[in-house]
Amino acid sequence: MPEKQYRDWNPDQPFLLPPSLQEWLPEDHPVYLMLDILEELDVSAIDRKYQEKDARGTRPYAPKMMVGLLLYGYSVGIRSSRKLEKATYEDIPFRVLTAGNHPDHSRISEFRRKHLDELEDLFLQVFQICQRMGLVELGNVALDGTKVQASASKHKAMSYERMLEEEERLKEEIQEMLAEAEATDSEEDERFGRKNRGDELPEELGRKEERLQTIQQTKADLEKEAKQGRAEEVQAKAERASGRAETHESKKERKRSETLAEKWDEEAARLRQEADEQSGENAREAETPEGMPKHRPKTETDGTPKPKAQRNFTDPDSRIMEKGGEFLQGYNCQLLVDEAHQIIVAQGVTNNAPDNGNFGPMVEKGTDNAEASPEAVLADSGYWNEDAPAEVNRRGTEAYIATGRQPHGKKTPTRSGTPTDAATAQD
């Protein structure tokens, strides 16, 4: 009986002609869609930045290739620049996308950092291309958020109360070390004479002084931000009182509200002035570019931070947030997604942990991106407040927001009174 024959296999077989990249993957592979999208993208803003530089030196990689590498990598869950570099060697779709180029991880991360604003605009371009392809119907869209780890450790955060304690402790230690150094210098001068050096301060002193300076600067930043936040709260109270002073039916209440409005206006102005006079960082915006509220440290009535108010030394904008029963140092990332083909209509990032207050701004951004209003927006109970539906109803959009949480497995009555599984109503 003849032996079974196998198909030819020779890993060392050279090609007579170079292989075509188009033959490496099936025709319907997503990377080819990405290449088609790249042809439609306008990267002239990135190109202008390169053209403004000296033409001499190392040639940069093609902007469209770098944009495609980032977009495709992120779409398949690869966010590490080192892993993206590795994929250009080992992963066929990435080799097809980069056409045999292998930008190293430092080039990839540098490209992203330098062109963040332009990449934000490219998100909108990609969405509009998907819209023209019929992938966005704007029937039902869903809004949700997730907590994402920042490039900072929660162990690098310190509360205002701890900052005050550490500041005093370090001051005492530095004074003790200075006194010890002075005593040591005097003793060595007597033993060895002044010609021999003995005036160097201990190396540890420099480290403690640096840490003290860092804590003092961070404390000043936190105090300034707290005063700014308190000024905004008081100003909002003044505006509400001013509204009552104009519309309330009771003359006595109108007079009282007018007095309160004047008092709170003065208080807000005082807090703003004190914040301006402090040595902390420049004023932080109270909202994100989308209009979502940002975190403000909790304050006492005089505008000083509460003892538990925290700030991170590595990434001051990030905040400690809960995710899945654990805590991380990060941000609250929001996505508005079209139901038809799971296309992202709008995205936003805030350092405020609760989702409340994000509903209207995110739907507004999605409407602006699509230049049309969704028929309906779905969101969980984290987005619920009494004003949320009205924020989108004026644009002709229906809001479906859970008004509360319901335990898994709990039965809820239907209109006819028959219990039914409440899985769809759960948060």
Residues 27 and 80 both lie in one domain: yes
Residues 164 and 264 both lie in one domain: yes
Asked if the structure places residue 252 within a domain, the reply is yes
Residues 162 and 93 both lie in one domain: no
Asked if the structure places residue 146 within a domain, the reply is no
First to last CA, the chain: 67
pLDDT band at 31 (very low <50, low <70, confident <90, very high): very high
Residues 209 and 105 both lie in one domain: no
Give 364-417 as a DSSP string: HHHHHHHTS--SEEEE-GGG--TTHHHHHHTTT-EEEE--S---TT-EEE-TTS
Domain end: 264, 282, 316, which one? 316
Asked if the structure places residue 337 within a domain, the reply is yes
pLDDT band at 192 (very low <50, low <70, confident <90, very high): low
The pair of three-digit structure tokens given for residue 165, joined into one six-digit string = 């304690």
Residues 207 and 298 both lie in one domain: yes
pLDDT in the model for residue 426: 39
The pair of three-digit structure tokens given for residue 311, joined into one six-digit string = 């700030």
Residues 162 and 44 both lie in one domain: no
| 40-62: b (≥16 Cβ within 10 Å) or e | ebebeebeeeeeeeeeeeeeebe
Asked if the structure places residue 5 within a domain, the reply is no
Please give the single-letter amino acid code of residue 372: A
Residues 217 and 366 both lie in one domain: no
Residue 208 and residue 173 in contact, taking contact as beta carbons nearer than 8 Å: yes
Domain extent, residue 275, equals 155-192+202-316
Question: What's the whole-number mean pLDDT along residues 38-62?
Answer: 88
Please give the single-letter amino acid code of residue 105: H
pLDDT band at 418 (very low <50, low <70, confident <90, very high): very low
Residues 71 and 87 both lie in one domain: yes
What is the DSSP pairing of strand 326-338 with strand 319-323? Answer: antiparallel
Question: What's the whole-number mean pLDDT along residues 341-356?
Answer: 92
- Count structural domains, the chain: 3
CA dihedral (190, 192, 196, 197) positive or negative: negative
Q: Residue 395 half-sphere exposure, CB side, CA atoms within 13 Å?
A: 22
Asked if the structure places residue 214 within a domain, the reply is yes
Q: Which residue has the higher pLDDT, 367 or 272?
A: 367
Domain end: 286, 316, 346, which one? 316
Residues 286 and 377 both lie in one domain: no
pTM above 0.75, yes or no: no
pLDDT in the model for residue 110: 92
Q: Is the pLDDT of residue 234 over 70?
A: yes
CB-CB neighbours of 319 under 10 Å: 25
Asked if the structure places residue 184 within a domain, the reply is yes
Exposed, middle or buried: residue 207 (CB in 10 Å: 0-12, 13-18, 19+)? exposed
Q: Which of 83-97, 123-137, 338-352 bottoms out in mean pLDDT, i.e. has the lowest?
A: 123-137
Residue 381 and residue 371 in contact, taking contact as beta carbons nearer than 8 Å: no
Residues 239 and 342 both lie in one domain: no
Q: What is the pLDDT of residues 259-283, one digit of tens each?
A: 888 888 888 888 888 777 776 566 6
Asked if the structure places residue 12 within a domain, the reply is no
Asked if the structure places residue 144 within a domain, the reply is no
Residues 186 and 306 both lie in one domain: yes
Query: Which residues, including other chains, have CB under 8 Å from residue 379's CB and lie 6 or more apart?
Result: 142, 143, 144, 355, 359, 399, 400, 401, 402
For the chain, give the mean pLDDT.
Answer: 83
In Å, the largest CA–CA distance within the chain is 111
pLDDT in the model for residue 427: 38
Residues 113 and 80 both lie in one domain: yes
